[in-house]
Amino acid sequence: MTKFLRFEAAKGSPVYQTIIADAVDRLMHVGGFSKDEVLDATGYNVFDDNSIRWDYVKRIIEEDHDTDLIPMASVYFKVNQRNGRKDRRHGAAFPPTQFPERYIATGNGKKTAGYVIASDVNGHFVVQRLKITRGHIQGKIKRGNRSLEIGKRAGIRRLKNEDTLLIPPPLKDKDDD
């Protein structure tokens, strides 16, 4: 029988508390953390990256510190190593602000290698993340409306909450061009 780690158990685990403490320290001083760096610093690098429930780590940090974390691909941390990643107190060295979509772990097989905190310093990532989220929402609206139209063509006379399902597509912003 396989036993799965529950969120409540992870939150009380000394292993997860150590990982979270190091991750929060890196978020406060550097603005982000790599999973590998956290595992190396805590001495848990003997564990495979997939052995840790990083979704739990992210959720605990977001809930405890009332913040939002943006998942980053490994290329972000490689660029930071190459540019000499610095502590925020001594002047931060972040990757270029052009093309932030290259660094966010969304689409094209990008695996999450770490997280950055949503802040004014990482504003270019926050804006890109909001654009991605808006695209997801627009796709879900279109899918819902398409399902409603298919249901009507199939002969369904009345659907519950029909008025709330038919949402017009959002207008294009002038600055999105």
Spacing of C-alpha 127 from chain mean position: 13
- pLDDT (average), residues 141-163: 75
- The SS3 of residue 61 is helix
Q: How do residues 63-73 score in pLDDT, each as one tens digit?
A: 999 888 888 88
pLDDT band at residue 22 under the 50/70/90 scheme: very high
CA atoms within 13 A on the CB side of 113: 16
Among residues 172, 106, 164, which one has the least CA distance to residue 133? 106
Write down the pLDDT at residue 42: 93
- pLDDT (average), residues 77-86: 63
Residue bearing the bigger pLDDT, 82 or 133: 133
